[in-house]
Amino acid sequence: MPVALTRFRKIPTCHPAVSIAALATAWLALTAAGADAQTAVNGQIAYVASGPSTIPFGSTTQTDIWVMNADGTNPRNLTNTSDIDEFTPAWSPDGTRIAFISDAFTQTLTIMAADGSNPTPVATGATFPTWNPAGTEIAYVRGRDGLPVNIVIRTLATGVER
């Protein structure tokens, strides 16, 4: 069972107000005006929970991606790592995949199946992933350690970024 739930994780590379504004802009770029944000159609909630850490020279806790049913039953740790942080999960519109950020240092955008299988790194230096309604593109914020913050939209089939 998870030790603690957190809704947001502070990412040291960008100011939260800038990131939220950038994410909102990216979302508008990917969706039709006025479209509602989708929730997981599979009825599950993805969240971040803290647990013991084995990260050298780091915190004594780290975070994993968990899912549970909407009524709070059947919590499952999908990433189950003690040596790396995972955070900011985002469901694909069809509920079959979860995008998330792995490793606070490399900020690796990763996509996995809804059951936690087949984690696939997609890009580094990424934060705050969000899907387009078709599930064919992901927008994220890229900016690290004083570099300019950019919104990137990546087409998953081709890997092309704009």
User: Mean pLDDT over all residues of the chain?
Assistant: 78
User: Cβ(89)–Cβ(100) under 8 Å?
Assistant: yes
What is the arithmetic mean of pLDDT over 16-37?
Answer: 39
95-114 pLDDT, tens digit per residue, is 999 999 999 889 999 999 99
Structure tokens at 68: 């549970």
- What whole-number distance in Å separates Cα of residue 7 and Cα of residue 16? 13
- Please name the CATH architecture into which domain 4-8+17-155 falls: 6 Propeller (2.120)
| Annotated domain spans of the chain | 4-8+17-155
Phi and psi torsions of 158, nearest 5°? -110, -20
Residue 87 has pLDDT above 50, yes or no: yes
Q: What is the pTM of this model?
A: 0.74
Q: 136-159 pLDDT, tens per residue?
A: 999 999 976 677 789 999 999 999
Residue 141 CA, chain-centre distance (Å), reads: 11
Residues 6+ apart with CB under 8 A from 118: 112
Average confidence (pLDDT) over 2-22: 40
